[in-house]
C-alpha cells in the first residue's frame, strides 16, 4: 500500500476464516476514503477478501511477503 492505512488489523497466526471475519467487522465501520491494512499469514486471505467484495466502491489489493522460518538460536 502506498498510503498510510486508517486502520491496521494484524491477524497473523489465526486460521481462516478469522482474518476475513475480523476484516468484515472493521470494513462495515469504515467511512468513504478510509482504508484497512490487514496483515495475515493465512494463504487464503487475499482470495477470500476478493471473493467477498459486495460494494462496488470497495477495492482489494494484496501484497505478499514471505520470510523463511528460522530456527530458534
Q: What domains can be seen in the chain, in order of their start residue?
A: 7-51 (3.30.110.40)
Q: What is the mean pLDDT of residues 4-11?
A: 86
Distance, in Å, from the CA atom of 71 to the CA atom of 73, rounded to the nearest integer, reads: 6
pLDDT of residue 32: 84
pLDDT of residue 61: 63
List pLDDT tens digits, range 12-68: 888 888 888 888 888 888 888 888 888 888 888 877 777 765 544 556 666 655 554
pLDDT of residue 18: 86
CB distance 11 to 39 below 8 Å:
yes
Nearest to 51 by CA among 15, 72, 23, 30: 23
Amino acid at each position: 500500500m502506498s498510503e498510510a492505512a486508517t486502520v491496521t488489523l494484524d491477524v497473523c497466526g489465526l486460521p481462516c476464516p478469522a482474518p476475513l471475519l475480523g476484516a468484515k467487522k472493521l470494513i462495515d465501520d469504515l467511512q468513504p476514503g478510509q482504508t484497512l491494512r490487514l496483515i495475515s499469514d493465512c494463504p487464503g486471505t487475499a482470495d477470500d477478501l476478493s471473493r467477498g467484495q459486495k460494494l462496488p466502491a470497495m477495492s482489494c489489493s494484496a501484497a505478499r511477503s514471505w520470510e523463511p522460518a528460522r530456527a530458534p538460536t
